[in-house]
Amino acid sequence: MLCISIVYTINLYKKTKIARLETCPHGIDIQTKPHPASAKKNIVLIGDSRIQDWGKPDLGKNIEVINFGTGGATSRETLCQIDATILNLTPEWYIVQVGINDIVAASMMKKEERTKIQDQILENIKRIITKLASTGSNILILTIVPPISPDTLRSFVWGDGIEEETARTSKRLLNELPDKVQIYDMKAIFFDFDKNEWKEDLSSNALHWNDNAYKLLTVEITKIVAEHDHQTPVN
């Protein structure tokens, strides 16, 4: 009975993950959040649990952060969330990190279907950019970090090729997105180029990052925001 229960749980997990590639479940948080004080510049964070876990980082003086991260969100769900919630805001920046949940779900599908999912991620992110650009805000896309050192069970359930698929998708983000957006390559933080491996000491588990990772990310994004403000002409 235990084996049957385990198999059932794994199959349900796979089915649920794959279904989220195409739909916008009612469970996703699309409640409108209050607009912060107008005296401050606003930065809106959008994406999956990696954004959610970032909380409200200090990205500079007189900046208010609104975090719309949603655990488990796919690129399709994030697109739906923007339609339902986010476009009533006109922040200084939108910062977007999304795609890993799509790639994990794709790893549990037939190999011939995986390329289609990669194309779908790119298309969804391009549509996200188009919608966000309509507000006149600056847009920053973060490339995708693969799961770091997944345990045996996750590796078995997820299937193979996630790291390679993540690398291909991030490369396409760097090369194919419109010039009007900025892109930050997350390998600058998470990859050890000397050892040619992802940094385990920045991971809290396979998919998620620890406090040290977020401190490094906050430093890098603060630099980008400050540099842009410095370059922007004052009327």
User: In which band, very low, low, confident or very high, does the pLDDT at 10 lie, cut at 50, 70 and 90?
Assistant: low
* Residue 23 vs residues 3, 75, 219: alpha-carbon distances, Å: 30, 10, 35
SS3 159: coil
Answer whether residue 229 shows pLDDT above 80. Answer: no
For residue range 129-160, list pLDDT tens digits in order: 999 998 889 999 999 999 998 888 888 888 88
Q: Say if CB 46 and CB 68 are below 8 A apart.
A: yes
Model confidence, pTM: 0.85
Q: Say if CB 53 and CB 69 are below 8 A apart.
A: yes
Strands 191-192 and 197-198: antiparallel
Q: Which domains does the chain have, with CATH numbers?
A: 2-25+45-55+73-187 (3.40.50)
